[in-house]
Amino acid sequence: MTLAENIKQRALFEGFNKVGIVGAESLADEGRRLEEWLARGHHGEMRWMARDVHKRIDPHEIFPQARSVVVVALNYFTPHQHQPNPGSGKVSRYAWGDDYHDVVKEKLLSLLAWIKEVEPSAEGKVCVDIQPTMDKAWAVRAGLGWLGKHSNVITPEHGSWVFIGELLLNLDLEHDHERIEDHCGTCTLCIDACPTAAITEPYVVDSNKCISYATIELRAPELPEEMDLAGWLYGCDVCQDVCPWNRFEQETSEIRFAPREGNVDVELEEILELTQESYAARYRGSAMKRAKLAGLQRNARTLTGLQDLQNLHD
């Protein structure tokens, strides 16, 4: 087998569900679409999205020696379901278990270590969301899936319940050139189901209207009055839940993505009673720490109606 074929086989051994290898070329077309999206203000207060756009477009800005990009997808679906009640808030499926950044990074570092054993001249850079890379664009280029109308990557085998990561390598490898055709067709279920009409047109999400953005990224002390959280405390999965391609979902083999106790539906009273110390202990190693304690408690107040009472008191 070629080195590229061996790397793919090893990636699957590490636990990834899909892998593709493409050239470390500029994402020029995808970059133009990103710049248009930013120009329309769809990134809201995520100012970091507008910084270093050139790094997102050109992988050499992150790893100058890059010659190839190994792109991986890791299924995170578990068959648990929300059991909401008035005293709890729903959590997005991706945050039920351990922080995916840690899990995917660990697997990619292990893959890189193996590659260096096989090819001593190899050097690489691991990228998992935190780095300024366009994960979804690389996944599409590598033939892992297509970009759905909800702006998530959809794989034929696992639907959209996948995490994406990249390994930039200084090696000239055999590249994949076949991409997966867009299979969304005339379906508009995700657009129609979005509680806040955040999918303003196919493939375009306005973060300012998005529940996930509001509950995770927005740092304002209060949520916009017009924002209906539809029962969500952290994130939102509605556009993925209604996607017909997610009927092909399969349970992940990664046990670290199994829900932590109380992480599928969270008791709002528990959130409101957290101190900085208990919050740190409760969400250590969880993606939910992204919202910060202030954000989680703001979301909980909104769901319980306490925000309105506080406003009246003020």
43 vs 311 pLDDT, higher one: 43
Query: What percent of the chain shows pLDDT beyond 70?
Result: 97
Can you list the positions of beta strands (E) in 134-207? 146-147, 153-154, 162-169, 199-201, 204-205
- Residues 28-50: tens digit of each pLDDT: 999 999 999 999 999 999 999 99
- pLDDT over threshold 70, residue 311: no
Active site residue 129: yes
- pLDDT over threshold 90, residue 86: no
Query: For helices 3-13 and 100-118, what crossing angle results, to 10°?
Result: 140
Q: What is the pLDDT of residue 174?
A: 97
Average pLDDT, stretch 90-112? 98
- pLDDT over threshold 90, residue 310: no
Query: For helices 292-304 and 306-313, what crossing angle results, to 10°?
Result: 90
Q: What is the pLDDT of residue 308?
A: 44
Residue 99 CB-half CA count within 13 A: 16
Token pair in block for residue 179: 């991409």
Return the bridge partners of 19, or none. 72
Average pLDDT, stretch 225-232? 94
- pLDDT over threshold 50, residue 117: yes
3-state helix, strand, coil in the chain (%, to 5): 40, 15, 45
Q: Residue 231: which of 268, 188, 200, 182 has the closest Cα?
A: 268
Q: What is the pLDDT of residue 306?
A: 60
Average pLDDT, stretch 123-139? 95
- Residues 136-158: tens digit of each pLDDT: 999 999 999 999 999 999 999 99
Say if residue 255 is exposed, middle or buried (CB neighbours under 10 Å; 0-12, 13-18, 19+).
exposed
Which entry of 58, 102, 129, 228 is annotated as an active-site residue?
Answer: 129
Query: What percent of the chain shows pLDDT beyond 90?
Result: 93
Q: What is the pLDDT of residue 248?
A: 85
Q: pTM score, two decimals?
A: 0.94
